[in-house]
């Protein structure tokens, strides 16, 4: 398909020339026929919003800044945490504690002081999304949760903006372009999100640091191609990447004529409550399991000190046990169903994991299997470290 150039509208204000400094800076672009002066000027006039400055946003914004995209918007309300440094290459150790948007600005401005960088230190919501996104040509989705992905998608369709989508899980990634005229949107692919708790976050599932690096860079490449109007963009194509197998596969995506957001008979004309849509109330996705018996770390410590005969069941993975453990009996959650016969339901059992979510599922499962003397350690081994024994490392 011939790629339409997606670049700044503004009634053509004529030629925005490149300065001598810019010509030198971008010389490696200018000597390529696929870019040249004409292409570099398109990049300079382009306005791209990067949603999220984390795993995906970091490589993405770095390469867009380096390439000379004239105006880059950044939106992120978070602060740099030491656990980010394993993959969020925009930030350094000295940035820990700083708002990500500030640290990102410093780094990107250093990479390329010629461009304009707009900063939004806030959360993208249904109230502000249309306003924030309207001034940009292309939106690149680097977020990490389902409600925001649906929000970004719907806002882009309503505003007519192209949405360069990338997402990751452990060592797999997905990249495609939504919102391109005639192409599908996110809801064409996934009309509904998974219920909370069913798909783990990076904190629970972990992620290979280079993975968002690769996926975010591919998103940058697609963004540049859209601006330049060159090459074959990933419209109608879902690129699947498996870093361990080092394989790329491609699946066809189509616009769904019945899609409520971009279809022929649209029913969505304004942004909705996405937290509700995704089944989440409050800030953190709660476990899908409710009303299970709990014990706090302090209560557990008191009972152990008293000499109570408790069976500590650790439902984490073997590699987590090696990081730190409470001396519990390791039985990973994924194997619980097959190995439940190893547990003695006449004993008092306290199940724990890292933060209390997986063990809640284990307690729910075991309760339904007939176990009556079973409790979930509230907050997991993290809470144990906070409240009982700080020598236990947190991870």
Partner 1 sequence: MPVKVIIPTPLRAYAGKQESVELQAGTVGEALTALTGRFGELRKHLYADDGRLRSFVNVYVNDEDIRYLQKDQTQVREGDTISIVPSIAGGASR
Q: Is 191 in the site for partner 1 (CB under 8 A)?
A: yes
Dihedral (Cα; 188, 194, 200, 202), 10-degree rounding: 30
Nearest to 2, CA basis, from 256, 228, 264 = 228
- By beta-carbon proximity to partner 1, the closer residue of 18 and 62 is 62
Active site residue 259: no
In angstroms, the CA 216 to CA 87 distance is 11
CB of 373 to partner 1, least distance (A): 25
In angstroms, the CA 314 to CA 350 distance is 9
Give the contact letters, 328-347, x = binds to partner 1 (CB under 8 A), - = no.
Answer: ------x--x----------
> Residue from 73, 142, 196, 297 that binds partner 1 (CB under 8 A)?
142
Q: What are phi and psi of 112, to 5 degrees?
A: -150, 95
Say if residues 168 and 215 touch (Cβ distance below 8 Å).
Answer: yes
* Residues numbered 268-297 forming contacts with partner 1, rule: CB under 8 A: none
Say if residues 323 and 285 touch (Cβ distance below 8 Å).
Answer: no
Q: Is 143 in the site for partner 1 (CB under 8 A)?
A: yes
Q: What are phi and psi of 343, to 5 degrees?
A: -95, 145
- By beta-carbon proximity to partner 1, the closer residue of 199 and 323 is 199
CB of 251 to partner 1, least distance (A): 5
Give long-range contacts, CB 8 A cutoff, 24+ apart: 127-130. Answer: 129/155, 129/271, 130/155, 130/158, 130/159, 130/271
In angstroms, the CA 134 to CA 353 distance is 44
Q: Is 145 in the site for partner 1 (CB under 8 A)?
A: yes
Q: Is 199 in the site for partner 1 (CB under 8 A)?
A: yes
One of 156, 185, 202, 324 is an active-site residue; which one?
A: 202
* Residues numbered 55-74 forming contacts with partner 1, rule: CB under 8 A: 55-57
CB of 346 to partner 1, least distance (A): 26
Q: Is 144 in the site for partner 1 (CB under 8 A)?
A: yes
Measured between its terminal Cα atoms, the distance across the chain in Å is 47
Q: Is 354 in the site for partner 1 (CB under 8 A)?
A: no
- By beta-carbon proximity to partner 1, the closer residue of 68 and 212 is 212
Active site residue 202: yes
* Residues numbered 94-123 forming contacts with partner 1, rule: CB under 8 A: none
Say if residues 349 and 303 touch (Cβ distance below 8 Å).
Answer: no
Which pair of tokens denotes residue 27? 């010389």
Q: Taking contact as CB under 8 A, which single stretch among the options 170-178, 339-347, 356-364, 384-392 is the one that binds partner 1?
A: 170-178
In angstroms, the CA 301 to CA 381 distance is 12
Show the DSSP H helices in 68-193 as ranges: 100-111, 129-133, 146-159, 186-189
Q: Taking contact as CB under 8 A, which single stretch among the options 126-134, 189-197, 289-297, 371-379 is the one that binds partner 1?
A: 189-197
- By beta-carbon proximity to partner 1, the closer residue of 91 and 375 is 91
**Cβ–Cβ contacts within 10 Å for residue 12, how many?**
9
Q: Is 201 in the site for partner 1 (CB under 8 A)?
A: yes
Which pair of tokens denotes residue 290? 């409710």
> Residue from 181, 182, 200, 390 that binds partner 1 (CB under 8 A)?
200
Q: Taking contact as CB under 8 A, which single stretch among the options 1-9, 16-24, 252-260, 267-275 is the one that binds partner 1?
A: 252-260
Q: What are phi and psi of 297, to 5 degrees?
A: -55, -40
Q: Is 212 in the site for partner 1 (CB under 8 A)?
A: yes
Q: Taking contact as CB under 8 A, which single stretch among the options 66-74, 144-152, 294-302, 323-331 is the one that binds partner 1?
A: 144-152
Q: Taking contact as CB under 8 A, which single stretch among the options 142-150, 175-183, 299-307, 344-352 is the one that binds partner 1?
A: 142-150
H or E segment to which residue 349 belongs: strand 348-352
Which pair of tokens denotes residue 156? 């882009």
Report CA torsion sign: 160, 201, 64, 235. Answer: negative
Q: Taking contact as CB under 8 A, which single stretch among the options 63-71, 162-170, 306-314, 366-374 is the one that binds partner 1?
A: 162-170
Binding site for partner 1 (CB under 8 A): 52-57, 76, 78, 81, 83-84, 88, 141-146, 149, 166-172, 174, 189-194, 198-203, 205, 207, 212, 238, 240, 242, 245, 249-254, 256, 334, 337
Active-site positions read 202, 353
């Amino acid at each position: 398909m011939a790629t339409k150039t997606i670049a700044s509208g503004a009634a053509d204000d004529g030629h925005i020339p490149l300065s001598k400094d810019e010509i030198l800076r971008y010389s490696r672009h200018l000597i390529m026929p696929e870019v040249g002066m004409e292409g570099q000027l398109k990049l300079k006039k382009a306005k791209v919003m990067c949603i999220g400055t984390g795993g995906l946003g970091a490589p993405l914004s770095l390469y867009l800044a380096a390439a000379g995209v004239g105006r880059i918007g950044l939106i992120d309300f978070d602060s740099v945490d030491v656990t980010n440094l394993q993959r969020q290459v925009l930030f350094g150790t000295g940035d820990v504690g700083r708002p990500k948007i500030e640290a990102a600005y410093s780094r990107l401005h250093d990479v390329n002081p010629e461009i304009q960088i707009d900063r939004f230190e806030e959360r993208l919501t249904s109230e502000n999304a249309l306003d924030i996104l309207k001034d940009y040509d292309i939106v690149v989705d680097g977020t990490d949760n389902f409600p925001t992905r649906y929000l970004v998608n719907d806002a882009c369709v309503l505003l007519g903006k192209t949405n360069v989508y990338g997402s990751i899980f452990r060592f797999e990634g997905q990249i495609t372009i939504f919102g391109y005229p005639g192409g599908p949107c996110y809801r064409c692919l996934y009309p509904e999100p998974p219920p909370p708790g069913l798909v783990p976050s990076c904190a629970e599932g972990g992620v290979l640091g280079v993975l968002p690096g690769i996926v975010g860079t591919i998103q940058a490449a697609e963004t540049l191609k859209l601006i330049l109007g060159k090459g074959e963009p990933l419209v109608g194509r879902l690129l699947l990447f498996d870093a361990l197998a080092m394989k790329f596969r491609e699946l066809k995506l189509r616009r769904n004529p019945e899609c409520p957001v971009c279809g022929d008979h649209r029913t969505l004309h304004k942004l909705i409550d996405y937290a509700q849509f995704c089944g989440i109330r409050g800030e953190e996705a709660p476990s899908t399991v409710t009303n299970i018996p709990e014990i706090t770390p302090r209560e557990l410590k008191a009972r152990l000190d008293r000499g109570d005969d408790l069976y500590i069941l650790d439902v984490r993975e073997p590699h987590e046990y090696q990081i730190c453990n409470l001396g519990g009996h390791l039985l990973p959650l994924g194997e619980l169903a097959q190995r439940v016969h190893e547990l003695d339901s006449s004993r008092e059992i306290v199940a724990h994991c890292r933060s209390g979510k997986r063990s809640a599922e284990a307690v729910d499962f075991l309760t339904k299997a007939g176990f009556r003397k079973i409790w979930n350690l509230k907050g997991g081994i993290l809470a144990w470290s906070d409240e009982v024994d700080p020598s236990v490392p947190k991870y």
